[in-house]
A and B are shown apart, each in its own frame.
Chain A
């Protein structure tokens, strides 16, 4: 979400602190989604201090059958930086979706958007990421000596 571990940690700690304060005030967080909602807004607030990405500026490409191999060549930090560079709410949508921890209902509840909008954000993010992969991490067939 933030692209920087330090900022993310700060947002996480602020969320935990807020939850503890709520418990002390006898108003505990109503559910586990509260933590993610609160942390998301803190991350957005932190990121608003820096440069903002503009929507619709990236190229898109069809999902390639070799995409899993392209992705396997990536460093996790590269993916983190790419997602954190996406505009809101696409950034949050991609982060929540690829965490693979939430149901669709929970995600659209967290993001306060409708399911078709959420699907459109994920689909365009996927195609943009494929275009980025094609540009930065092209897949080359492994050399097969038997074909000579």
Chain B
């Protein structure tokens, strides 16, 4: 078992994190855009 990403599993790891990270990042950006109204 590895503690850190090895070459063999790095693609799998990148895909898994992208699968959850991209929707989350999109949601955060949308929220920040809406939050700007607070300081305008």
Pair from one complex: no
Residues of B within 8 A of A (CB): none
